[in-house]
A and B are shown apart, each in its own frame.
Chain A
Amino acid sequence: MKADKVGSAFILFRSEYWSRDRLVRCASYLFALIAWEVTGYVVGPLFLAGPTQVVIALREVVLSGELLLALMVSLQAFAVGFAAAMASAIPLGMLMGRFESVERFFEPYIAAFFVTPVSALIPMIIIWFGIGIEARVVVVFSFCFFDIVINTFNGVRDVRYELVEPVRSLGATQRQIFMKVILPAAAPFVMSGIRLGLGRAIRGMVIAELLLATTGLGGMIVTYSAVFRTDVIFAVLVVIVMLGVGSVRLIKAMESRLFPWKETSTIRGGFEGSARTAPAPAEG
């Protein structure tokens, strides 16, 4: 994308920056903001605060330090839960992909838990873990664990035969095949598992704060809804959305950095960031 290269505000004044795709995107944002503002004005701030009021409320909670404090509390449970999920789900997924007996052993539970709405387990989590940080960590963990397991498992299991065979033909040991073929071939799948898991972990984080002890960002939503401060509620929601979108973007950027070899020949062709496939040079 051109903007990254130039990195200057003056880019906004260049005509080539305003491609058709960008214009459509901007028009979409503009439309949403205007609709939101008008609706807020019509129904009143008790039901829906408009964007301008949300910005003012955001400034308020940032300056008072309340938002930062809530954010730290939320991120604590999130970080521990997500790290624990990665540390256990990636090895488990790999073992399942590599050894059929391990897959047989765990598959039914993974399948069952994957379709179970974790929110429905929250009463049990309260009974077992209380409503403190431990319980919130468990909720975050159970929200994202299965996405990471399943993606890692698929990545390892579906490594193409045509990739393994030539390396085996060169006399590689099982260990070398795993390290030099299976691991790098599965890495992009593990990464997309992490990306999907991250989104779910953030959802889990907020849900835990809504349904367990009212604390963190979710706690702010509960507290301010009791006093009908829709402006603050939306300010917190904006923060949560930015957190999610920002971290997913970060991982996507890491993915294209780590896996430059990934062919990006999708049916969408020109979708943003996918115009990377260089034309094959002519023979000879």
Chain B
Amino acid sequence: MGSKILVRNISKTFVRKGDGDEESAVEALKDVSFEVADQEFVCIVGPSGCGKTTLLRIIDGLIPADAGEILIDGQAVGAPAQDRGMVFQTFGLLPWRTVAGNVAIGLEIAGMESVKQKPIVQRWIDVVGLAGFERYYPHELSGGMQQRVGLARVLAIDPVVILMDEPFGALDAQTREFMQEELLRIWNQEKKTVIFITHSIDEAIYLADRVVVMSARPGRIAEILRVGIPRPRWDHDVRGTKEFAELRAHIWKELRKDGHGVVAPPGD
């Protein structure tokens, strides 16, 4: 397994203009480097303000980095393109489009004929379990279902890498666990490379091959941990195993070192 994504020495500082001439700078990311292997599932955890969302937005190309580079398959990436797909915490569905219309938008942007779009759209609607809801509008769906649309929209463009920014953060606890399991099933079938951001330690351990722990001010990598729990993880009580508990305790301690404690405690 060669490395699919190479994040190399990424730094980013946000400059905020004050009322007068004063400018305040916030160092969001400082010299962040890590690799993600092909078909690997990597979770990034860290306290609020550690720059994890900024990092994901840089990888997607939504904002530029001040220094460093992102390589995918050895190629430097710039502006957003369809080799990367991003799933957002706020779902970001277009309210005037139906489920099918929302799933199709990436294909439309790529300029695909609508006849060719249809089978692809239907396939991914089926995969995320929304068959029968094709003509529903987002406001007629529950949060979990809306995020399924968000995932199908990204899967439809067949990206090399899927970037997920706290995708289940807005969902209730039960829906969240259900969606985690669904995501693992889809990932198991589709074999995509995933970078998944969360502030929940449990979610990170349950999903990831490796967990990247970040600390804040400036945002940097504190530790990278391998999760050795065998897959598939949905057929037994992973959360009750000794290894899970140890990893959770370890990450929690690591995050507490930061002193802020602004992170969801274990069990969230």
Contact = CB atoms under 8 A, between A and B. Distances in A.
Interface in B78-110: 79-82, 84-86, 88, 90, 92-97, 105-106, 108-110
Contacts of A166: 86, 88, 92-93, 150, 153
A257 to B, nearest CB: 13
Contact of A282 (B82, B85, B140, B142): B142
A261 B88 contact: no
Nearest to B88: A166
Given A184-B96, A280-B140, A281-B142, A170 B157 contact: yes
Contact of B62 (A162, A169, A184, A280): A169
B106 to A, nearest CB: 4
B92 A165 contact: yes
B142 A280 contact: yes
Interface in A247-269: 259-263
A170 B92 contact: no
A247 to B, nearest CB: 25
B106 A170 contact: yes
A260 B97 CA distance: 10
B140 A278 contact: yes
A277 B138 CA distance: 11
A169 B162 CA distance: 11
Nearest to B107: A170
A273 interface: no
Nearest to A264: B139
B137 to A, nearest CB: 5
A35 interface: no
A259 B97 CA distance: 10
B141 interface: yes
Contact of B88 (A162, A180, A262, A284): A162
A246 to B, nearest CB: 27
Interface string B137-165: 11111101100001001000100000000
A91 to B, nearest CB: 21
B60 interface: yes
Interface size class of A (residues with CB under 8 A): 20 to 34
Contacts, number: 85
Interface string A31-68: 00000000000000000000000000000000000000
A261 B92 CA distance: 15
Interface in B48-81: 60-62, 79-81
A168 B106 CA distance: 10
B34 interface: no
A170 B80 contact: yes
Contacts of A184: 94, 96
A283 B85 contact: no
B84 to A, nearest CB: 8
B95 to A, nearest CB: 5
Given A167-B105, A170-B82, A281 B141 contact: yes
A284 B178 CA distance: 9
A167 B109 contact: yes
Nearest to B141: A280
A171 B81 contact: yes
B140 to A, nearest CB: 5
Contacts of B178: 283-284
Most chain B beta-carbon contacts within 10 A, residue among A162, A163, A261:
A261
A283 B142 contact: yes
Contacts of B129: 284
Nearest to B150: A166
Given A163-B94, A170-B80, A263-B139, A283 B145 contact: yes
Given A163-B94, A184-B96, A283-B175, A169 B80 contact: yes
Contacts of B150: 166
A181 interface: yes
A172 B111 CA distance: 10
A274 interface: no
A173 B85 CA distance: 16
B161 to A, nearest CB: 12
Contacts of A282: 142
Most chain A beta-carbon contacts within 10 A, residue among B79, B133, B139, B145:
B139
A169 B85 CA distance: 7
A176 interface: yes
Given A261-B95, A283-B145, A180 B110 contact: no
Per CB-CB distance, the 9 closest pairs between chain A and chain B, nearest first, are A166-B92, A170-B106, A261-B96, A169-B86, A280-B142, A261-B137, A162-B90, A263-B139, A172-B109
Given A165-B88, A166-B150, 14 more contacts: A166-B86, A166-B153, A167-B94, A168-B80, A169-B62, A170-B82, A170-B109, A171-B82, A172-B109, A259-B96, A262-B95, A278-B140, A281-B140, A284-B129
12 contacts: A166-B88, A166-B92, A171-B81, A171-B110, A261-B95, A262-B95, A280-B145, A281-B140, A282-B142, A283-B145, A283-B175, A284-B178
